[in-house]
Structure formats: structure tokens, C-alpha cells
Amino acid sequence: MAKIKVNQETCIGCGSCASICPASFKMINGKAKEIKASVAKITCEKEAAEACPVNAISVTE
């Protein structure tokens, strides 16, 4: 189980996370939002977090 969280104050709305990992991130009003607060198994979420230019995504196992 891993917790997924986007810091919406830090997010600059670049869209990378939603493009890399659409199963877990979507864009709402120009900001990314996690689709679920947690996932049973990490797939693309870490890659999306690493791609975020402002480190707004946390993935906690």
C-alpha cells in the first residue's frame, strides 16, 4: 500500500504527472490531483513524482 499526495500549493500545473501516470493523477482547474489517496501497488506513481519539476508529489510506502 502506498499513499499518494499532490501538494496543490506547490504544483505549477505542467501536466507531466497526469501524462506519465493517468491512472493516478488528473488535472483539475490547472492543478494536478491524485485520483485515489492510496494505491495497493506502485506502478507509474514514483516515475511521475520524479518527473515533477517542483517535487509536489509524495509517494509514501
Minimum gap (Å) between residue 41 Cβ and ligand SF4: 21
Residue (9 or 61) nearer to ligand SF4, CB: 9
How would you classify residue 26: left for phi > 0, otherwise alpha for psi between -120 and 50, otherwise beta? Answer: beta
Q: How far is the CB of 25 from ligand SF4 (least distance, A)?
A: 6
**Under the rule (CB under 6 A), what is the footprint of ligand SF4?**
6, 11-17, 32, 52-54, 56-57
Provide, rounded to whole angstroms, the least separation between the CB of residue 54 and ligand SF4. 5
Burial class (CB in 10 A: 0-12, 13-18, 19+), 4: buried
* 20 phi, psi to nearest 5 deg: -75, -35
